[in-house]
Amino acid sequence: MRRTIVGLGISCALTLLTVPVAAQMVTDYEVITAPALVAPKAERAVLTEIAVAGERLIAVGDYGLILTREQNSSDWIQANVPTSVLFTGVSFANAQRGWAVGHHGVIVATSDGGLTWQRQLDGFQFIELQQNYWGNLVEELESAIDASDDEAEIEELEWALENATFQAENADFAAEEGPTKPFLDVLALDANTVLVAGAYGTLLRSDDGGASWNLLDANVENPDGYHFNGLANGSEYLFLAGEAGQIFRSADRGDSWEVLDSPYYGSFFGLHVDQSDRLWVAGLRGNIFMSDDQGETYTQIRLEDTVNINSIVDAANGGVYLVGNAGVVGYVDEQGEVEQRTHSSGAILTDLTINQDGSLTLVGQRGVLSLESFDTASVEQE
């Protein structure tokens, strides 16, 4: 009997040991500032994007998860991240410097290739940014209207003023409600210049590596405040695409944007400039378009299934891979030949990367998944 009682004592002691001692009680939980939980199941959480920095893969997703994996390894390591929001985009300027953006107006940056991250902007600061931006714009427009005597110009300015006033009021309202606009994509042009696209026509840029951020919303013609879902960088232009078939391009790193004729009126989620400088846009219900003239004209490409296509990535041999909802993975070779596979999980897939052996690492609803290569060119070569 005594032995069993001793056993009980030991098991009690062990139970006590597993309770962490130094934890500080949180009484005002805030997802923006809460450090990401160390999560053994991180690889199974919702992940949204994956980027390559040097020899390292970096995937981002829900619960402030940023996972890194060396190309030659199979182990994912959770990075130290000072927020718990859902990340929606990640982009690296070089092997060290990168940014990730997400919900609640959060931007984080790394300068060690994704191992540790610092918060550069949060939603509360973002609201202040908006208040100042729209407030200043209202003042500028008002004085411009006062200064102008051209009827047509005044009409245009007044129209802009109306929009700016509306946005300024929105920002004031948001100051009470808290951050509600998520960022949806990020694009690092170099170690100092980063662009961030977001909901309701949000466009941000930093020219000093994230130390300060400037809003560019008013530089894009988006009167209905549609979401901006994707950014891509080509040889001549930056591209921006979003809700309701919008496509824009900029020749001056985002200062001014030109509206392009869209081949489609539904939303685009994926935007990509491939290795041959061709522009790809893809979105709702399997709508995929390719342009080899910088977005002037488009050719439609069809997969078997008409599900949302979320991302397009360069494959070897000049082709591209596409991933979408319901586990759909597509391959389009340089000549436009299409092949479709469906991942057995049927999970929503949001991004992918190609490993050195040609196999695919997919991310999405079920976290990290993998699929063997099926771009016929590289298979035949082997």
To the nearest whole angstrom, how small is the minimum distance from the Cβ of residue 32 to other proteins? 10
Cα 79 to chain centroid distance, Å, stands at 18
Binder of other proteins out of 229, 246, 262, 361 (CB under 8 A): 229
To the nearest whole angstrom, how small is the minimum distance from the Cβ of residue 40 to other proteins? 5
Site string (258-287) toward other proteins, x via CB under 8 A: -------xxx-x--------------xx--
HSE toward the beta carbon, residue 47, CA cutoff 13 A: 28
Instruction: Please report whether residue 46 would count as binding other proteins according to CB under 8 A.
Output: yes
Q: Taking contact as CB under 8 A, which single stretch among the options 39-47, 51-59, 151-159, 373-381 is the one that binds other proteins?
A: 39-47
Question: Residue 37's CB: how many other CB atoms inside 10 A?
Answer: 13
Applying the rule CB under 8 A, the residues between 331 and 370 that interact with other proteins are 346, 348, 350, 364-365
Question: Residue 215's CB: how many other CB atoms inside 10 A?
Answer: 20
Binder of other proteins out of 39, 115, 144, 145 (CB under 8 A): 39
Radius of gyration of the CA atoms of the chain, in A: 23
Beta bridge partners of 342: 328
25 Cβ neighbours under 8 A, 6+ residues apart: none
Q: Is 342 exposed, middle or buried (0-12, 13-18, 19+ CB in 10 A)?
A: middle
Instruction: Please report whether residue 22 would count as binding other proteins according to CB under 8 A.
Output: no
To the nearest whole angstrom, how small is the minimum distance from the Cβ of residue 180 to other proteins? 5
127 Cβ neighbours under 8 A, 6+ residues apart: 105, 171, 174, 175, 179
User: Nearer Cβ to other proteins, position 90 or 273?
Assistant: 90
DSSP assignment of 111-159 equals SSTTSB-EEEE-HHHHHHHHHHHHHHHHHHHHHHHHH---HHHHHHHHH
Instruction: Please report whether residue 235 would count as binding other proteins according to CB under 8 A.
Output: no
User: Nearer Cβ to other proteins, position 27 or 381?
Assistant: 27
User: Nearer Cβ to other proteins, position 290 or 307?
Assistant: 307
To the nearest whole angstrom, how small is the minimum distance from the Cβ of residue 210 to other proteins? 21
Instruction: Please report whether residue 224 would count as binding other proteins according to CB under 8 A.
Output: no
- If you ran DSSP here, which 8-state letter would residue 355 be given? -
Instruction: Please report whether residue 330 would count as binding other proteins according to CB under 8 A.
Output: no
- If you ran DSSP here, which 8-state letter would residue 260 be given? P
Binder of other proteins out of 222, 291, 310, 353 (CB under 8 A): 310
User: What SS3 class is residue 245?
Assistant: helix
Binding site for other proteins (CB under 8 A): 1, 3-5, 7-8, 15, 18-20, 23-29, 31, 34, 37-41, 45-46, 48, 62-63, 84-86, 88-89, 103-104, 177-180, 182, 184, 227, 229, 243, 265-267, 269, 284-285, 308, 310, 325-326, 346, 348, 350, 364-365
